Amino acid sequence: MKKILSSDTVRLLIPALSLTILLISVFYLQPRAMSYVGLNLLFNLAVPIALATIAQMLIMTVNDLDLSMGTFVSFVACITATFLQATPLIGVLMLAAAIATYAVLGVLIHVRNLPSIVVTLGMSFVWGGLAVLILPAPGGEAPGWVRAVMVSRPPFVPMAILACAIIAVVSHLLIMRSSFGVILRGVGGNARSVERAGWSILKARAATYALAAFFAILSGISLVGLTTSADANIALRYTLLSIAGVVLGGGEFTGGRVSPIGAVIGALTLTLAGSFLSFLRISPDWQIGAQGAILIVVLALRLLLNRLENRGKRP
Amino acid sequence: MTTAPLPHAVIEVADVKISFGAVKALDGVTLRIVPGECVGLVGHNGAGKSTVVNIINGALSPQEGTIACAGERVPRYGIAAARANGVRCVFQELSLCPNLTVIENTRIMHGTLKGWGWRRRAARIIGSKLDEIFPGHGIDPTDTVSDLSIAQRQMVEIATAFSQVAQPVKLVILDEPTSSLDATLATQLLGYVRSFVTAGGSVIFISHILSEILSTSDRIVVMKDGKVVTERPAVEFDEHSLVAAMGSVVKGHDREKRAEGAAGRTPLLSRPSLHGKGLPFEVFPGEIVGLAGLGGHGQTDMLIDLYLGHTSNWLRRREAEVAFVAGDRTLNGVFPLWNILKNLTIADLAGLSRKGIVNETAEADLGHAWKERIDIRTQDLDNPILSLSGGNQQKVLFARALATPAPAVLMDDPMRGVDIGTKQEVYAILRAEADKGRAFVWYSTEMDEVCLCDRVYVFNNGVIVAELKGDAVTEKNVLAASFTGIAA
Amino acid sequence: MKPLVLLSRKPWIWSFVAAFIVWSATILFTGGASTIGLSQAALTFAAFSILVGIGQMFVITLGPGNIDLCVPATMTLAGTIALKFMQVDDSLILPGLFIAIAIGVAVGIGNYALIRLLQIPPIIATLSMSFIVQSTAIWTNRGLRIKPPETLASFTTETTAGIPNVALVALTLSVCAFALLHLTVYGRWISAIGQNIRAARMAGIPVDGARFVTYVLCSVLAAICGYLLASFSGGAALNMGSEYLLMSIAVVVIGGTAVAGGNSNVPGIWGASLFMFLVVSMLNTYGAGAGIRLIMTGLIIIAVIVVAGGRNPHQR
Amino acid sequence: DTADKKIALSNNYAGNSWRQAMLTSWEKVTGEAVKAGIVAAADPFTTAENQATEQAAQIQNMILQGYDAIVINAASPTALNGAVKEACDAGITVVSFDGIVTEPCAWRIAVDFKEMGRSQIEYLSKKIPAGGNLLEIRGLAGVFVDDEISAGIHAGVAQFPQFKIVGSVHGDWAQDVAQKAVAGILPSLPEIAAVVTQGGDGYGAAEAFAAAKRPIPTIIMGNRQDELKWWKEQKDANGYETMSVSIAPGVSTLAFWVAQQILDGKEVKKDLVVPFLSITQDTLEANLASTQEGGVANVEYSQADAQKVIEAAK
Ligand SMILES: Nc1ncnc2c1ncn2[C@@H]1O[C@H](COP(=O)(O)OP(=O)(O)OP(=O)(O)O)[C@@H](O)[C@H]1O
Ligand SMILES: Nc1ncnc2c1ncn2[C@@H]1O[C@H](COP(=O)(O)OP(=O)(O)OP(=O)(O)O)[C@@H](O)[C@H]1O
Ligand SMILES: [Mg+2]
Ligand SMILES: [Mg+2]
């Protein structure tokens, strides 16, 4: 009984297939989307979501959950549209302080053995409050270079697709291939034995949190690059979106089982699902419900593919 | 390895004491391991063996006492110091990361394995060590650990501990390494241990299987209640004297095997042959049926299928048909947040409750009765389950299943890590229960246990290839059947 | 051991300590004049968080990934449909309650059907379900606010012996929940499932049955809360539950329930609910702006959990 | 001629009675227009969550769908600018209303929210010349409308210094949240002369005062039917006097007609202003009668109304 596909590949294949099916239906409904501009329009808002999803995935790798992802990205967006634009040095310092705060949170959660959900729930108020202080009313302006990067038009491949591919590859190398990633996932899989092998779980957690903050900061910056300005509530839904993205991409809540490429694909799927719906033209009463329905359909698809895959594996 | 014998002990713990709350886990233990010897460590469940291991490994610091490496006292002994001094450990409970591949687990266990191309090097190191210890192991280093069987995981863990990356491996501690291995693999391991020792390495070997201890160790240390009670060369012991030193008595096998024909009786549980291959399975009231064969050949799967097939996921029937004793404690058995009592009674709540309300007095009584009957070593059933030693946790799981009125009990290698004295008591309980009409289906990797059964089904590659009855249940027959292919 | 030491070991005590400190700080501001008013207001509004919190607690007990995100939508749907059905008619109060409960049951069944059939993490399943439920609420009455029957409105807003009626309802249900959790077989089951679902199955626990009941229970409590809240605030609004999404989770975890599952705690929900209301009142009273208020709320939550957590290594 | 033009409504939120009335008006008026062959389509879209990012994606999809004009009630005045710019670049007419966008290429049908806040204090200064303590109920923190109305109120207080804001809470424009916030701060407040609000939260404030057994101050209402009804009951019982002010949900239909006029080739100024809809003691009955049970006082616009507004702005 030799396996043809490793479980990691399967973990990836399923989200990739659901994305493809969704993409085909979108192209069918709206052939105009099948162009350079069309693809960019379909996917450019997936870039910040993909980054936030990677950040959430990192936290989930060590069996934690970050309920403050959305408010944190909003907070970063506010800084980007104000300080980073007007006084870049102060802006960078503030973002560095935010990374340090995340690292401290990781330490705190580990040392006091706290549930990450509660700590990040508390932090979501803190980030939200800071964002309101920085930008009491929507506004600010995206730094020129950020805007330039986000609206640039590389040859052949739209920026949105290129960016997602880069995010996927970089995070894959970092989490699935590097030694650092192995330790991180090991902490998620069996923290006790990683500790007994002489690694510091404390440092690993702090590093995970800091790295997650780094990706979340990239998410906030790229978001402002697309929207040109910020407000304190701009990314609140990223908390749930990022969790959904990780799950769609085959990640699990416990056990350090994650897939960065899957997570990016999950983020793309979620974005595309929204577009798919507007192309369907549903009665306004049911538009919200249809979002739920499409989520269910995508997940059902995942199950179906999973089943087929398993059937293929059994002798 | 050809390092010349060192003049000093590899490691020496002197008068170490440690207690967890009121429990004195170690009460002044002194242990000296010199290069080129295999020390067998035996004792009843909860004697403190794993605790000694944790001290030598650096995971626990003793409250009193000293630790010396190569003759020098190490004041701040910890995990890092232990590893630097060449101490490696295979723990009683499996301790790989199930979500990582074998290669990645090797990386975690060996901090020095860094830089470009570590994956390739790790694959080579672990692959060659596996080949060396367990020829024909069938493990691909790129496999994810969760895809491996328990035995394979144990093999990976053992191979990782013995493989050498930067620092030399001087002392390997094996805490019940054979508990999930079948006889063939166990023999391979013990053979390797001897060659490792001959080459100048040291091994601390913990096991409840006394024959293994006697055949492999140079010296045997017997522990009891946190103290070392006897310490002598292995040749001075035989099975009886060793058991006596541990404070138990071996009883003879006094039960007549049942070998009644199946004609005219309705089986309690049955399963047709799988895909038309192999033999069908059935078990009758009052029988002890063994499942044998090499590890991981479908025995556990069948037990789980039987269990899931006879219990509902949606409704609890008042009278349970089957009960289950898990072998893989952490996966299938223990509820880690609860105390011992709740862990013990969870399967029999139907009998302990009226109109859905749990009768706590009856629950406590049941708990105490079983604590006495099966000798769970704890002061208070209110203690957390994880404060028990591995073997004692296993006893709780045993009591959990036996306390139910279920007419059939499925046991998935339930004696893992149970000490010999307790085993004898459990065997007696099983026999008594079987005489009262209960049926047992017993998967075991221990040949002795298989031979206790009335009837044995032998597995190979997921199907039943042979059925042995009554006096035909012998070690020789079982072994022979294990290697037969599927009868066409 | 001294009783104080014993008390400090209880995971729920800290939420009460925090609530008390915040309460005192608010009272101090007015020199004690606001004691009764503030306490009554706190009990009233805490009651709603308690109702949804208890439901959420049962779900969270089931283990990692188990959170019901459908709570706000259920509240809205139950509130709108029940009020629409009652048509300001006093004689329909009880049937209206049954309708609300029936909606809770239906949503609960839907939630678990998704979880079970699609085998997806409950967080995602209930999120999807909440969109559908919310749409149904929009579709049924397009945001029109219908008033509650007079008797029901006055019942929910009035007090008995100085204690708000809704708080008494919450107390009754809390006692039931406590008993369910600590005395019954079902309570043992869900705790076991939360700790180790495979072991639970192998110990003969009907895992699907128990989880199903739990999700239904949570939805029913949310529905009852929606019914009461709509009556209390003079009509159901489409957005009336949105506040209770984070709130229901927050009161559970601040109250000392283990987020990793298997260990739950009813008294803590009371402390945490009172605390969550009082902390906002305190900051409003001291005139803090929205930004400062949010930051302080967050820091206080973290402070509470830092003090409370880590006390007991077996309690995570 | 716009018979072959397609117009889309991009709406960011549908979770309160105001938005529902807005959508209903849109459907009613545009439905007739489509039937009459004035435009080819007028499809409303609502995002599942009230978020600028989701609305930006929605607008991008509308570009792909080939709409000729997009009418927006925006989640944020600035965060949609990127998407709006892309729409303009694709040759699409963008008209924003209520929640307007600042992108220069778009049209704006704005309500002077500052003035809406200030007018409340002005009204109070006439009703209570002696002044007194005010409780301010704000909307959702960090949102443009909340900031504007609040700024107007504070400007009003500066203009009429006999008033003093002694407490301020966020009611998130939701009545139960407002009720809760007011109930929490009320015990610690001195006597309150009036409550200034942003709409949708007046009834909740009244309930909170009643529950605390405090005299009911002058509460500025927000045109919701339940508020008007409560006001009417009070008026009949004890001559209670107040005012009610809010933006009419039917402004979506004005935006529709403006978009249609622009598509028709009319010259339209980028910034148009609509008056807010205020209800006084005298017009209460008439407005209450014309408002649906549980709904919001409303005005719907016709093509002629829109032309008038456009002319007036020139
Ligand atoms: N973390 C702990 N907390 C409380 N008590 C503990 C803890 N760890 C071990 N003990 C107690 O220390 C004693 C020795 O346990 P240990 O695990 O060393 O036994 P053992 O000899 O390895 O037994 P077994 O053969 O069953 O594995 C036992 O009584 C156990 O209950
Ligand atoms: N505790 C366990 N230990 C080992 N393997 C298990 C365990 N539980 C389930 N399995 C394996 O996983 C498979 C699926 O189990 P699961 O409980 O999900 O079945 P199911 O589809 O829910 O069954 P049903 O709904 O009919 O009760 C089983 O056939 C078994 O091989
Ligand atoms: Mg042990
Ligand atoms: Mg064995």
pLDDT digits (tens, 9 = 90+) for A52-75: 999 999 999 998 889 899 999 999
Q: Is B421 in the pocket of ligand 1 (CB under 6 A)?
A: no
- Chain B CB contacts of A189 under 8 Å are 97-100
pLDDT digits (tens, 9 = 90+) for D213-248: 889 999 999 888 888 888 999 999 988 999 998 888
pLDDT, one tens digit per residue, over C169-214 is 999 999 999 999 989 999 999 999 998 899 999 999 999 999 999 9
CB under 5 Å of ion ligand 3: residues: B 50, 92, 390
User: Which of B41, B205, B389 most suits a substitution to test ligand 1, by most atoms within 8 Å of the C-beta?
Assistant: B389
For residue D253, the model assigns a pLDDT of: 93
- pLDDT tens digits, D245-301: 888 899 999 999 999 999 998 888 988 888 888 899 889 999 888 888 878 888 889
DSSP D126-157: HH-TT-EEEEEEE--TT-HHHHHHHHHHHHHH
The whole domain housing A296 covers 15-20+34-303
Per-residue pLDDT at B257: 65
Question: Where is average pLDDT lowest: A84-98, A260-274, D6-20?
Answer: D6-20
Instruction: Work out the percent of chain B whose per-residue pLDDT is above 70.
Output: 93
Q: Given pLDDT bands bounded at 50, 70 and 90, which one contains residue C315? A: very low
Residue ranges covered by each domain of chain C: 12-22+34-308
Q: Which of B185-189, B483-487, D189-193 has the lowest mean pLDDT?
A: B483-487
Which residue's CA is minimally distant from atom 24 of ligand 2? B313
Q: Give the pLDDT mean for C61-74.
A: 89
Please tell me the distance between residue B20's alpha carbon and the centre of ligand 3 in angstroms: 15
Average pLDDT of span D7-30: 88
Average pLDDT on D185-207 reads 87
Kindly tell me if the per-residue pLDDT of A310 is higher than 80. Answer: no
ipTM of the complex: 0.82
Q: Judge whether A129 lies within some domain.
A: yes
Q: Find the B403 Cα to ligand 2 centroid distance in Å.
A: 24
> Which chain A residue lies closest to B139 (C-alpha atoms)?
A2
Instruction: Tell if the CB–CB gap between D81 and A229 is shorter than 8 Å.
Output: yes
The answer, yes or no, to whether residue C314 has pLDDT greater than 60, is no
Which residues contact residue B418 at a Cβ distance below 8 angstroms, ignoring those fewer than 6 apart?
B45, B208, B391, B394, B395, B426
Mean pLDDT of B86-108: 89
How confident is the model at residue A8, as a pLDDT?
Answer: 67
pLDDT tens digits along C114-169 = 999 888 888 889 988 998 998 899 888 776 778 889 899 889 988 888 899 999 99
Q: In this structure, what token pair is assigned to residue C223?
A: 């529905």
Q: Which residue from A minimizes the CA distance to D24? A: A284
Whether the CB of C201 sits within 6 Å of ligand 2: yes
Q: What is the mean pLDDT of residues A277-301?
A: 81
Which residues in chain C are contacts of B404 at CB distance < 8 A? 204
Q: Is there a contact between D9 and D71 (Cβ–Cβ < 8 Å)?
A: yes
In the block, which residue shows the tokens 């839907």? C110
CB-based contact B446:B208 (threshold 8 Å): no
Q: Which residues of A touch D45 (CB under 8 A)?
A: 278, 284, 287
The pLDDT confidence band at residue B389, using thresholds 50, 70 and 90, is confident
Contact C124 A299 (CB under 8 A): yes
For residue A177, what is the nearest residue in chain B, using CA coordinates?
B119
- Residue at A248: amino acid letter: L
D186–C contact, CB cutoff 8 A: yes
Ligand 2 atom nearest to CA at B300? 4
Distance CA D289, CA D276 (A): 19
Whether residue A250 contacts residue A262, with contact meaning beta carbons closer than 8 Å, is answered with: yes
User: Which atom of ligand 2 approaches the CA of B313 most closely?
Assistant: 27
CB-CB contact of C131 with A291 (8 Å): yes
pLDDT of residue B23: 76
What mean pLDDT comes out for the span B351-379? 89
Judging contacts by C-beta atoms under 8 Å, the chain C residues touching residue A125 are 294-295, 297-298, 301
Radius of gyration of chain D (CA): 20
CA of B308 to the centre of ligand 2 (A): 7
Q: What share of chain D is helix, strand, coil (3-state, %, to 5)?
A: 45, 20, 35
Q: Between B112 and D122, whose confidence is greater? A: D122
CA distance C185 to B262: 39
Please report, to the nearest 10 degrees, the dihedral formed by the alpha carbons of residues B344, B348, B349, B353 taken in order.
Answer: -120
A247: left (phi over 0), alpha (psi -120 to 50) or beta: alpha
Task: Convert the pLDDT of each residue in C77-111 to its tens digit.
Answer: 999 999 999 988 889 999 999 999 999 999 999 99
A102-129 burial, b at 16+ Cβ within 10 Å, e below that, comes to bbebbebbbeeebbbbbbbbbbbbbbbb
pLDDT over 60 (residue B3): no
Supply the pLDDT for residue A315. 35
For residue D25 the two structure tokens come to 């008006």
- Find the closest chain A residue to B103 by CA distance: A182
- B400 within 8 A of B377, measured Cβ to Cβ: no
Q: Do chains B and C touch (3 or more CB pairs under 8 A)?
A: yes
How high does pLDDT run on average in chain D? 89
Asked if C207's CB is within 8 angstroms of B323's CB, the reply is no
The pLDDT assigned to C6 comes to 67
In the CATH scheme, what is the code of domain C12-22+34-308? Answer: 1.10.3470
Residue-level pLDDT at D1: 77
pLDDT of the residue at B222:
92
What confidence tens digit (pLDDT) does each residue in C291-305 have? 888 898 889 888 877
Question: In the structure encoding, which two tokens stand for residue A186, read together?
Answer: 């090991």
Q: How confident is the model at residue A3 (pLDDT cuts 50, 70, 90)?
A: very low
Chains that touch A (3 or more CB pairs under 8 A): B, C, D
Kindly report the protein residue whose alpha carbon is nearest to atom 26 of ligand 2: B313
What pLDDT is stored for residue B47 in this prediction?
A: 86
Amino acid at D285: E
> Which amino acid, one-letter code, is at A132?
V
Nearest residue by C-alpha to atom 12 in ligand 1: B25
Least Cα separation, residue A241 to chain B (angstroms) = 25
B446 CA to centre of ligand 4 in angstroms: 5
Single-letter amino acid code for the residue at C253: V
Region of poorest pLDDT, from A4-8, B250-254, B434-438 = B250-254
Ligand closest in space to the Cα of B42: 1
Average pLDDT over residues A127-147: 90
Q: Within B291-358, where are the H helices?
A: 299-310, 340-345, 349-352
List pLDDT tens digits, range A212-234. 999 999 999 999 999 888 888 88
CA of B57 to the centre of ligand 4 (A): 24
Q: Residue D70's pLDDT band (boundaries 50, 70, 90)?
A: very high
Mean pLDDT of chain B: 85
Match 């019942």 to its residue by tokens: C155
In a domain, A4, yes or no: no
B415 confidence band (pLDDT: 50, 70, 90): confident
Is residue A115 assigned to a domain? Answer: yes
Residue among B57, B59, B114 whose CB faces A179 most closely: B114
Q: Between chain A and chain C, how many beta carbons pairs sit less than 8 Å apart?
A: 150
Q: Please give the pLDDT value at position B2.
A: 46
Instruction: Note whether residue A1 is domain-resident.
Output: no
Q: How many domains, chain A?
A: 1
3-state secondary structure of A66: coil
What is the structure's pLDDT at B255? 58
For the cut 90, the answer to whether the pLDDT of residue B331 exceeds it is: no
A-chain residues near B57 (CB < 8 A): 196
Q: What is the DSSP letter of C147?
A: P
CA end-to-end span of chain C, whole Å?
23
- Asked if residue D154 has pLDDT above 90, the reply is yes
Which pLDDT band, with edges at 50, 70 and 90, does A1 fall under? very low
Among B51, B392, B415, the mutation site with the greatest number of ligand 1 atoms within 8 A of its Cβ is: B51
What confidence score (pLDDT) does residue A58 get?
96
Q: Is the pLDDT of residue A4 over 60?
A: no
Tell me which chain B residue has its CA closest to the CA of residue A193: B95
Chain B: partners with 3+ C-beta pairs within 8 Å: A, C
pLDDT reading at B43 higher than 60: yes
Confidence of residue B115 (pLDDT cuts 50, 70, 90): confident
